[in-house]
Amino acid sequence: MAHKSIDNAFTAQTIKGAATDPTHAGALSFMRRLYSKDVSNADAVVWGIPFDAAVSNRPGARFGPQAIRRAAAIFDNDPQYPFQRDLFENLAVIDYGDCLLDYGNHQLTPATIEQEAAKLIANDAFLVSLGGDHFVTWPILKAHAAKYGPLALVQFDAHQDTWFDDGKRIDHGSFVARAVRDGIIDPTASIQIGIRTHAPEDCGIQILYGHDVENMSARDIVQAIETRTQGRKTYVTFDIDCLDPAYAPGTGTPVAGGPSSAKMLSVLRQLGKLDIVGADIVEVAPAYDHADITAIAGATIAMHYLGLLAEKKAAR
């Protein structure tokens, strides 16, 4: 067993290289990455945001980061499918842990998340955020737009999240409208994939509805995303309820008629041409999950973000 590691999340001597912890044992960080608060040498930072006070239906996404980390143990550090590589051979990644939020003062939450996100990306680290409900994307977007300018948004979701609010609400259903209104995202370069509800306003964002996605190939969807984002700096947000409840039952507002995890992972796999500057996976609510189906899908989506980044670094 000399070649095996254990508790790599806090015993690792480097932030590169695969861990070899047993899948069923060891400290749980995302993909066994070293827990660290030092981001100075990191290419990417994984960060949990355990917040669900903005939900309009079932709560529980505050437990999403824990569930996603637990599910990530299934990545047993063989070359990761479908990237055919050890993602961490040349990619330095840490698990930064979670954002500390005051559950009794939700009005402080947006600024707390935004300020910490800004700190994490200050040295150009790629931030992979684990929600939490979809409201957390709003302050994260603000931090990225402050650094990169108005962003193209690629949103995988069953909901448009374009309901109007007064700019002060803590609401997971209005952050997109707010981001358009405040110039955080450029709607002419933004696209939503998998939408299966109707909001009063589309804000000028292109929509691929659930029935569109059903009739399109993964490659067709990728081409639509590439055309829409126009080579702009892009933020990718993936609400797990984009997937049909058959593939993601553990979420707050499930909607029937969505795509499979296989199809959406195939789309993610082909987004290497995009200039993605940050990404998240949100709305995993493990209390409604079964056998970690949803958490495994969420962890795999986050792994794909890192896989695309590892490929880009290897190609330089």
304 is in an annotated binding site: no
Of residues 161, 164, 160, the one with CA closest to residue 172: 161
Q: What is the pLDDT of residue 2?
A: 55
- Residue 26: what pLDDT? 87
What is the tally of helices (H) and strands (E) in the chain?
Answer: 9, 8
Strand partners, 276: 234
Q: Does 182 appear as a known binding residue?
A: no
Q: What is the dihedral of CA 282, 286, 289, 291, to 10 degrees?
A: 110
Say how far apart CA 107 and CA 273 lie, in whole Å: 38
Query: What span, in angstroms and rounded, lies between the C-alpha atoms of 175 and 160?
Result: 9
| pLDDT reported for residue 21 | 87
239 is in an annotated binding site: yes
Q: Rounded to whole angstroms, how far apart are CA atoms 191 and 230? A: 11
Residue 49 has pLDDT above 80, yes or no: yes
For residues 6 and 148, give the distance between their C-alpha atoms in angstroms, rounded to a whole number.
39
241 appears as a binding residue in the annotation: yes
Question: Of the candidates 265, 266, 251, which has an alpha carbon nearest to the alpha carbon of residue 300?
Answer: 265
Identify the CA nearest to 284 among candidates 29, 49, 61, 59: 61
User: pLDDT class for 247, splitting at 50, 70, 90?
Assistant: very high
CATH code of domain 8-315: 3.40.800.10
Is this model's pTM higher than 0.85 or not? yes
> 1 pLDDT band (50/70/90 cuts)?
low
**Could you tell me if 120 and 127 are in contact, meaning their C-beta atoms sit under 8 angstroms apart?**
yes
Cα distance between residue 214 and residue 201, in whole Å: 23
Q: Could you give the percent of the chain with pLDDT greater than 70?
A: 99
CA angle 235, 80, 44 (to 5 degrees): 40
* pLDDT for residue 30 is more than 90: yes
Q: What is the average per-residue pLDDT within 278-294?
A: 98
Is the confidence at residue 40, as pLDDT, over 60? yes
Query: What is the per-residue pLDDT for 28?
Result: 92
> Rounded mean pLDDT of the chain?
95
Tracing tokens 């069953």 back to the chain, one arrives at 158
**Cβ 157 vs Cβ 205: under 8 Å:** no
pLDDT digits (tens, 9 = 90+) for 74-130: 997 779 999 999 999 999 999 999 999 999 999 999 999 999 999 999 999 999 999
Summarize the confidence of residues 3-9 as an average pLDDT.
84
- Nearest to residue 195, comparing CAs of 146, 161, 144? 161
What is the arithmetic mean of pLDDT over 151-171? 92
Give the start-end residues of each E strand in the chain: 44-49, 93-98, 126-131, 152-156, 191-195, 206-209, 233-239, 275-282
**Stretch 65-77: mean pLDDT:** 92
**Tokens standing for 106?**
């939700």
The long-range contacts involving 5-13, CB below 8 angstroms and separated by at least 24 positions, are 5/32, 8/32, 8/34, 9/33, 9/34, 9/35, 9/95, 10/34, 10/35
